[in-house]
Amino acid sequence: MITIGVDVGAKNAKLLVLRDGEIVGKKSRESGFDQETVTNELLAATLAEFGIDRDEVTGICSTGAGRKAVQYAGDKITEVTAAARACFELYPDTKTVIDVGAEEGRAIRSGERGKVEDFAINEKCAAGSGAFTEAMARALEVSVDELGRISLKSDASVPMNAQCAVFAESEVISLLHARTPKQDIAKAIHDAIASRIVSMTRRVGLNKPVVLVGGMARNVGFIHSLNTAMQDEVRIPDAPEMIAAYGAALVAAERAVVAATETGASGPG
């Protein structure tokens, strides 16, 4: 059985193909303004590249902020459900999923078979997302990757306000004026976001093991700060930004099986 998960985020659209539970292909591109066209093209390109016929695809499930733009998706689920489902598949003993993307951070308490038992999403006025690191990197005139790398060089602990992004930004500027080394500021920024994320995660209970997904799971500085704040090593999947698409593909497969059982038809393959 082939199913597809499509995750349409604010920045990128990601597509993942699953054949009998195995990932056989993935592809992503910028989601742009016309998400409908982009996701159509993405599907066509993926099918062509991996030599899959459209009729072979049993189910397609979309997720992400732009999931409704995916006209060909039979199922639509939110990123919360998708992330929890995928993390269960990768690490069946997952208790908590932390998902930090460009726009928001989420914490999910994962129950049996990846069922979402409770979730929290960072509120407005919070410095707990990838966009915050981008803004801070700009203030420091470094790339986001560099921000992560240089912060690992610091073992200083500069307190910074993590409650409000605006306040935090002015603190960064204050630190720059005070000639604080960039690496220390970078660490302070990651510590602040990590503190914010841990703070939010405590709302659903900080139960271990914890899996970190989303774009920020690529940021080595953030990972270090998060591990320190939690006094634990978070697990990070190989392609943390593909997790939602993977979860969506898994859900599509499950629903196809359920539908097949209900109608009495036998599943393909």
Partner 1 sequence: MAVHKTAPLKCWKKAKELREQYYRDYASAHERGGIRWTGGAWSFDAIPYGLGDDVYPLTGEPYAASIAFNREFSLECLEATEAKGWARDLCSYMRNYWGSMYLNRFLFGGPYPKPNFGFQDHICCSHAKWYQVVSEHEDFPYFSIDVSVGPYEEVRDDPHKIRYIVDQMHEAIEFMEQVTGREYDDEKLIEAVKNDCRSTSTWAKICELNKHVPAPLEEKTMYSLYVFGTLSKAKKEFADFYDELYDEVRERIEQGIAAIPDERCRLMSDTQPPWGFLKLFRYLETYGALSIGSLYTFGLIGNWETKPDGSWGARTTPMELGVEIDSRDKALEVLSEWTLSRPEWQHFYDPTLKTKMMAQIAKEWHVDGVMLHLNRGCEGLSCGIMQNRNGLVDTGLPVMTFEGNMGDEREFDMGRTTTRIESFMETLGLQPLETA
Partner 2 sequence: MFSQFETWYRDRHDYARRWKERTGGKVFGCFCSYVPEEILVAADILPVRVLGNHEPQDVTEQHLFGMFCPFCRDVLAQGLKGRYEYLDGITIAQSCIHLRQTYRSWEENVPHDFTYYLPHPMHVASPHAVPYLYEELKKFRAAVEQFTGKPLSDDDLDRGIRLVNENRAALHELYAHRKGPVPKLSGLEAMWVTVSSMWVDKEEHTAELRKVLAQLDEREEQFGDGTRLMLVGSENDDTDFIRMVEAVGATVVTDDHCTGTRYFWNETPELDDRIEAIAKRYVERPACPAKDHVARTRFPHILKLARDFDVAGVILIQQKFCDPHEADMVPLRSYLEENGFPTLFLEFDVTVPMGQFRIRTEAFLEMLMEEDLF
Which residues in this chain contact partner 1 in the complex, by CB under 8 A?
Answer: 65, 75, 77-81, 104, 115-121, 123-124, 203
Q: Is 200 in the site for partner 2 (CB under 8 A)?
A: yes
Contact between 163 and partner 2 (CB under 8 A)?
yes
Give the nearer residue to partner 2 in terms of CB position, either 192 or 242. Answer: 192
Residues in 83-142 at the binding interface with partner 2, rule: CB under 8 A? 123, 125-126
Residues in contact with partner 2, total (CB under 8 A)? 28
Nearest-angstrom CA–CA distance, 264 and 260? 6
SS3 track for the chain: CEEEEEEECCCEEEEEEEECCEEEEEEEEECCCCHHHHHHHHHHHHHHHCCCCHHHEEEEEEECCCHHHCCCCCEECCHHHHHHHHHHHHCCCCCEEEEECCCCEEEEEECHHHCEEEEEECCCCCCCCHHHHHHHHHHHCCCHHHHHHHHCCCCCCCCCCCCCHHHHHHHHHHHHHCCCCHHHHHHHHHHHHHHHHHHHHHHHCCCCCEEEECHHHHCHHHHHHHHHHHCCCCECCCCHHHHHHHHHHHHHHHHHHHHHHHHCCCCCC
Taking CB under 8 A as the criterion, the residue among 160, 165, 210, 216 binding partner 2 is 160
Please identify, among the stretches 31-39, 62-70, 146-154, 194-202, the one whose residues bind partner 2 according to the rule CB under 8 A.
Answer: 194-202
Shorter beta-carbon distance to partner 1: residue 93 or 118:
118
| Binding string, residues 214-243; x marks residues near partner 2 by CB under 8 A | ---------------x--------------
> Residue 121 binds which entry of partner 1, partner 2, none, with Cβ cut-offs from 5 to 8 Å by kind?
partner 1
The item of partner 2, partner 1, none sharing an interface with residue 213, based on CB under 5 to 8 Å by kind, is none
Q: Please, are residues 81 and 58 in contact by the beta-carbon 8 Å criterion?
A: no
Which partner, partner 2, partner 1, none, binds residue 80 by CB below 5 to 8 Å per kind?
partner 1
Q: Does 164 bind partner 2 (CB under 8 A)?
A: yes
171 forms part of the interface with partner 2 (CB under 8 A): yes
Residues that bind partner 2 (CB under 8 A): 123, 125-126, 159-164, 167, 170-171, 173-178, 191-192, 195-196, 198-200, 202-203, 229
